[in-house]
Chains A and B, each alone.
Chain A
Amino acid sequence: MAELELDSITKVFHDGDEEIVAVDDVSLTIEDGEFLVVVGPSGCGKSTTLRMVAGLESITSGAIRLGDDVINDVKSQDRDIAMVFQSYALYPHMTVQENMSFGLEESTGLSDDEIGARVEETASTMGIGDLLERRPDELSGGQQQRVALGRSIVRDPEVFLMDEPLSNLDAKLRAQMRTELQRLQEELDVTTMYVTHDQTEAMTMGDRIAILNEGELQQISSPLECYHAPANRFVADFIGEPGMNFFDVDREGDELVSELFTYPLSDWMVDDLGDTSELVFGIRPEDVSLVDVASAEHDFEAVVEVVEPMGDENTVHLHFAGHPDSSIVASVGGLQNVSQGEELAAHIPEEAIHLFDRQTGKVLHNRRLDSEEAVDATL
């Protein structure tokens, strides 16, 4: 087991005369035994990063260290890294047994008996002990997924890499495998780098998550931190479903002014903002509460457009009164009765707002976490 360190790695692809920077100066460290989820929209460079770690792509600049060794120029087959692919990439002409033995045969000097024993042991841990003689095309998708995992685990590698391994499963199986993967990873305690575009997987599985966009690392921290204290507007937008509401605002003294509303700030807020006056105002839908009439200074009149009942909660799409083109989303309890066309007020608590620099996207102020109860109380 070892620590995996990415030190300012960059990947440039060439397409004709054009250079495409797929991964741009990404540095991060995965602690020994840590489960890091790399997440980002498609095309953000997450898979390329993973493939550079695997040795399947060359590194344009920067260094990758495994333990104390730089592995930039170590061939894939010598890196002692196992990878689970989106397509599972099982060898179709081999039985499950052979699929799982292959890596051990190629990368270790173990005897056939030892290999057999290890394969059987791993297979039974994975619950595929009775499938050993079957070929991949005789297996269900979930079983193939297990075999692919088993094939990686049996090698007992330094690092696990997983490239969207669950995306080919149906929703239910995916949820089930998510938990199982977490359990396995904890048991095995192997450094793991897990790539996904699915934020649910990112939030639920990782010890930490790394968020990439356009090849650049946006933030790396625990899931909750990413959620509540995003480093920039992109992270705030990307994490969370439904996504954060954003409004362009200008700060005028101790007020935030947009064409939709004017939002007075308390003194403790003003201090955080420094000189920047062009801002983006952000508020998560669950932090918006709906009240009958605008009674406080952070209440704004709004009209309900659509209500999407989800059972435990309702997602409510509204627009500010007098601004039919505007839009704000609120998540409210499933039992709160809201109907289309209803005129009411949206309460946007000051404790819960995020403010970003409109130019750089960087966060200037994140919500206060200790005011959680206060928010709830207003409901």
Chain B
Amino acid sequence: MTKPDLKDDSNDERSKGTADGGRLPRLRKRFDYHRLGLYAVLLGIVAFYLAPIEAGLVTSLKTRTGVIETLPMSPPIYGEFSTASWIAAFDTLSRGLLNSALYAVPATVISAFIGSVAAYGLTQANWKRRYKATFLALFVAGIFIPYQAVLVPVTRFWSNYAQIEGLLTPLWLLGVDRDYTDLVELMITSIAYGIPICTILFRSYYKNMNIEMIEAARLDGASLRRIYRRIVLPLSTPMFAVVLIYQFTQIWNDLLFALVLIQSTSSDAAPAVLILSGLGVSQEGMNFSLQMAGALITALPTIAVYVMFSEEFSEGLAT
């Protein structure tokens, strides 16, 4: 995989105002018209990437007649403004947002942690290359397998072999709905399938860590566990940011496992994407205003995380 060096480059050289045009100074000076054209093209592309979101946003703020009668990308300024869709979508989705957070956050943290520990263990192990390569290949392949290939076994596993409803009895006694069994199953499933990517991301980070430093700590009398705790973990903070953000987006956004494990949008434990997938398609017909509001509400947490940490996010992708 490609090494993540986007961050450094962009911060140091380019965006911090290399007014003379960075890598191609000569080109820039020679072709100022081209430069103008370049920005025009870039802005045009911005319009393309934002158009669906903009159309969604303005549509979500219109009345149902407004949706039909006005242009899809024009703002709701002629009296068709309405927040009804947002209110309705939020009513329907608020339960799902909570559920999504309930499983996505722990699943993200746990899979990142397991991945980090595993990657640390792999970095420590001085294995023969052929075994190490096989082992890593299993992890890398684990990232890429289509989940369809495990779907039937996973559902059978949870329904017939690993019945955890009884284990969670204390929750039911507290008045939690039994539908939440499915959410716990979904959480564990998400953790398991998140491990390969988390491990590989951390490994690419630890591989570049100074091995002598770890060895120094060993000689300083620290056990492997203590080294992780006192040296590696504190130094992993930047990678944790990357992995947590990436994993959170993945888990929050995933529909397939939610669909087969939670199944019904009316389940008390239904996550936001599952509810969204059925939103607006009822006997009432497609209500685009409602659908757009729902889509935006569901996307809000991941968009917020993305905008706040876009560097880490792209680093996670490029790795």
Complex A–B touching at CB under 8 A: yes
Complex CA gap A15/B129 in Å reads: 7
Contact between B235 and A56 (Cβ–Cβ < 8 Å)?
Answer: no
Does B222 reach chain A (CB closer than 8 Å)? yes
Interchain Cβ contacts within 8 Å, total number: 73
In the complex, which range does the number of interface residues on chain A fall in? Answer: 20 to 34
* Cβ 8 A contact of B215, one of A14, A83, A102, A151: A83
Complex CA gap A87/B220 in Å reads: 16
Contact between A87 and B219 (Cβ–Cβ < 8 Å)?
Answer: no
Contact between A90 and B213 (Cβ–Cβ < 8 Å)?
Answer: yes
Q: Which residue of B lies closest to A15 (CB)?
A: B129
Contact flags B195-227 to A (C-beta < 8 A → 1, else 0)? 000000000000000101101111111110010
Which of A28-36, A74-82, A126-134, A311-319 participates in binding chain B? A74-82
15 pairs across A/B with beta carbons < 8 Å? A16-B129, A56-B215, A79-B219, A82-B220, A83-B215, A85-B215, A87-B210, A89-B212, A89-B215, A91-B216, A93-B235, A103-B221, A106-B222, A107-B221, A155-B221
Minimal beta-carbon separation of B231 from chain A (angstroms): 6
Minimal beta-carbon separation of A73 from chain B (angstroms): 15
* Cβ 8 A contact of A103, one of B210, B212, B220, B235: B220
Does A92 reach chain B (CB closer than 8 Å)? yes
**Interface residues, chain A, with chain B CB atoms under 8 Å away:** 14-16, 54-56, 75-79, 81-83, 85-87, 89-93, 102-103, 106-108, 151, 155
Minimal beta-carbon separation of B132 from chain A (angstroms): 12
Contact between B234 and A93 (Cβ–Cβ < 8 Å)?
Answer: yes
Complex CA gap A86/B210 in Å reads: 11
* Cβ 8 A contact of B223, one of A55, A77, A103: A77
Which of A14, A54, A76 is the most central at the interface, judged by chain B CB atoms within 10 Å of its CB?
A76
Contact between A92 and B215 (Cβ–Cβ < 8 Å)?
Answer: no
Does B128 reach chain A (CB closer than 8 Å)? yes
CB within 8 Å for A78 and B212 given contacts A91-B231, A102-B230: no
Contact between B220 and A77 (Cβ–Cβ < 8 Å)?
Answer: yes
Provide the residues of chain B in CB contact with A85, threshold 8 Å.
212-213, 215-216
Q: Which residue of A lies closest to B214 (CB)?
A: A89
CB within 8 Å for A76 and B210 given contacts A92-B235, A93-B235, A102-B230: no
Minimal beta-carbon separation of A23 from chain B (angstroms): 16
Q: Which residue of A lies closest to B222 (CB)?
A: A106
Which of B210, B219, B221 is the most central at the interface, judged by chain A CB atoms within 10 Å of its CB?
B219
Complex CA gap A79/B128 in Å reads: 25
* Cβ 8 A contact of B219, one of A15, A82, A91, A93: A82
- Secondary structure at chain B's binding surface: helix, strand, loop or mixed? helix
CB within 8 Å for A89 and B210 given contacts A14-B128, A56-B215, A76-B215: yes
Q: Which residue of B lies closest to A102 (CB)?
A: B220
Complex CA gap A75/B225 in Å reads: 14
CB within 8 Å for A77 and B219 given contacts A15-B129, A16-B130, A86-B212: yes
Q: Which residue of B lies closest to A98 (CB)?
A: B230
Complex CA gap A85/B129 in Å reads: 25
Contact between A89 and B213 (Cβ–Cβ < 8 Å)?
Answer: yes
Complex CA gap A89/B217 in Å reads: 9
Contact between B128 and A54 (Cβ–Cβ < 8 Å)?
Answer: no
Minimal beta-carbon separation of A112 from chain B (angstroms): 15
CB within 8 Å for A81 and B234 given contacts A89-B210, A89-B213: no
Complex CA gap A14/B129 in Å reads: 9
Starting from the known contacts A56-B218, A90-B216, 9 additional A-B residue pairs (CB-CB under 8 Å) come to A14-B128, A16-B129, A77-B222, A82-B219, A87-B210, A89-B210, A89-B215, A92-B213, A102-B220
Complex CA gap A89/B212 in Å reads: 5
Minimal beta-carbon separation of B202 from chain A (angstroms): 17
Minimal beta-carbon separation of A66 from chain B (angstroms): 13
Provide the residues of chain B in CB contact with A107, threshold 8 Å.
220-222
Q: Which residue of B lies closest to A161 (CB)?
A: B219
CB within 8 Å for A83 and B216 given contacts A15-B129, A91-B231: yes
Contact between A87 and B221 (Cβ–Cβ < 8 Å)?
Answer: no
Minimal beta-carbon separation of B125 from chain A (angstroms): 12
Q: Which residue of B lies closest to A51 (CB)?
A: B215
Q: Which residue of B lies closest to A91 (CB)?
A: B231
Minimal beta-carbon separation of B230 from chain A (angstroms): 7
Provide the residues of chain A in CB contact with B223, threshold 8 Å.
77
Minimal beta-carbon separation of B216 from chain A (angstroms): 4
Q: Which residue of B lies closest to A87 (CB)?
A: B212
Contact between B216 and A89 (Cβ–Cβ < 8 Å)?
Answer: yes
Q: Which residue of A lies closest to B234 (CB)?
A: A93
Q: Which residue of A lies closest to B221 (CB)?
A: A107
Complex CA gap A14/B215 in Å reads: 22
Complex CA gap A102/B218 in Å reads: 11
* Cβ 8 A contact of A77, one of B210, B218, B235: B218
Contact flags B237-268 to A (C-beta < 8 A → 1, else 0)? 00000000000000000000000000000000
